[in-house]
Amino acid sequence: MRYVAKYGLFWFKSGIWLSNQNNPYLATYLIQNSIWWIEFADLDGIRMDTQPYPYKDFMSNWAKRVLEEYPDFTLLGETWLQKPAFTAYFSGNSPISGNYNSHLSSVTDFPLYYATRDAFNQNDGWTTGLYSIYYVLAQDFLYGNAYNNVIFLDNHDLDRYFTSVGEDINKFKMGLAFLLTSRGIPMLYYGTEILTTGNEHKGHGHIRTDFPGGWKEDKANAFTEEGRTKEQNEIYNYIKKIADWRKTNKAITEGKLLHFVPENNVYVFFRYTKNEAVMVLLNNHNTKKRTVDCKRFNEILKDYSTGKDIISGEIYNLDKIEISKKSALIIELKK
């Protein structure tokens, strides 16, 4: 895949626009420049930096013109907004955008980021903890296609996720399990696989530190098993196992999402197609394991007899499932 990592159509300073995309000559130049880069570099997609900031009608026309030239091209808009409705407005073909259409292929799902950043650090309340994730996903109908949203735990502008969860391995795994099984297109920021830490407020150099290895001066080489610590290898292998598995599971890569209101500190959701299904359980309690009565999920479980934990290989009968404190289970269902 050949992607432009970042593309911008304006500069701004002290709230003053320094690029007037309403000028037809400038607008034509910017559109033609984008098309030239796509053709010259044989690109597959563009991540449009701060997409909602420029004039929205120009941005809509820019995306429309690019897709007219390259119908299968991907346009990802960085829509750094806190609420689903605000973010969904800028998604392509959104039902809430009225006569406006951004024509974007995908948007960055910051509302889901904020929910996953906070959920495992909080006790479950009416709108906190696991409920914060539930309520964000419950608003997916606002998007043109929420399954095209790019979802993430952190990125180059944010606190590292391991730092966000207080360097707690169990919380970290819960976030990873959710990210790699939820709806949307998961994005992993480099260094996540080796528990990289960092606070954004200390400067972007702090969250964009070099990945260890690759240079003879480096004291450790995290590209190798020997160059990683025991905890780093635990997370590296955890991510690898889920990532390798999801490549072959159509319920995850192509399926719909069905979720249930969290109950007794446990959030349960399913990814499913006509012939396959995956059950994901998240127990957010700090000290207690939970036993989940599966009768509540008969709507989907009636078609399956057993399930297999993709991490441990343990086989579950779909009657009652026990889940440890602060943990996730990813269960591939079997007929």
pLDDT in tens, 93-108: 999 999 999 999 999 9
Task: Print the domain residue range for 197.
Answer: 3-250
Handedness of CA 66, 67, 71, 74 (dihedral sign): positive
pLDDT tens-place values along the chain, 335 residues long = 444 444 555 555 555 455 788 889 999 999 999 999 999 999 999 999 989 988 999 999 999 999 999 999 999 999 999 999 999 999 999 999 999 999 999 999 999 999 999 999 999 999 999 999 999 999 999 999 999 999 999 999 999 999 999 999 999 999 999 999 999 999 999 999 999 999 999 999 999 999 999 888 999 999 999 999 999 999 999 999 999 999 999 999 999 999 999 999 999 999 999 999 999 999 999 999 999 999 999 999 999 999 999 999 999 999 999 999 999 999 999 99
Contact yes or no for 246/332 (Cβ under 8 A): no
CA distance 335 to 274: 12
- Of 250, 285, 316, which residue is a domain's last? 250
Q: Based on the fold, state whether residues 126 and 271 are members of the same structural domain.
A: no
Those residues whose C-beta lies under 8 Å from the C-beta of residue 244, and which sit 6 or more positions away, are none
User: Active-site residues: which are they?
Assistant: 49, 78
Q: Based on the fold, state whether residues 117 and 172 are members of the same structural domain.
A: yes
pLDDT digits (tens, 9 = 90+) for 103-127: 999 999 999 999 999 999 999 999 9
Q: Based on the fold, state whether residues 215 and 172 are members of the same structural domain.
A: yes
CATH code, 13: 3.20.20.80
Q: Based on the fold, state whether residues 302 and 168 are members of the same structural domain.
A: no
Q: Based on the fold, state whether residues 311 and 173 are members of the same structural domain.
A: no
As to burial, measured by CB atoms within 10 angstroms (0-12 exposed, 13-18 middle, 19+ buried), residue 13 is exposed
- Of 222, 250, 278, which residue is a domain's last? 250
pLDDT digits (tens, 9 = 90+) for 252-294: 999 999 999 999 999 999 999 999 999 999 999 999 999 999 9
Q: Based on the fold, state whether residues 292 and 221 are members of the same structural domain.
A: no
Q: Check residue 244 and give its pLDDT.
A: 98
How many domains would you assign to the chain? 2
CA distance 173 to 176: 5
CATH code, 311: 2.60.40.1180
CA distance 278 to 76: 28
Helix (H) or strand (E) holding 251: helix 250-253
Q: Based on the fold, state whether residues 244 and 265 are members of the same structural domain.
A: no
* Residue where the block lists tokens 């499932």: 321
Q: Based on the fold, state whether residues 165 and 27 are members of the same structural domain.
A: yes
User: Strand runs (DSSP E) across 158-198, as ranges?
Assistant: 185-187
Q: Based on the fold, state whether residues 198 and 85 are members of the same structural domain.
A: yes
Q: Based on the fold, state whether residues 241 and 259 are members of the same structural domain.
A: no
Report which residue type is found at 5.
A
Q: Based on the fold, state whether residues 260 and 245 are members of the same structural domain.
A: no
Q: Based on the fold, state whether residues 224 and 327 are members of the same structural domain.
A: no
Contact yes or no for 19/26 (Cβ under 8 A): yes
- Of 190, 223, 250, which residue is a domain's last? 250
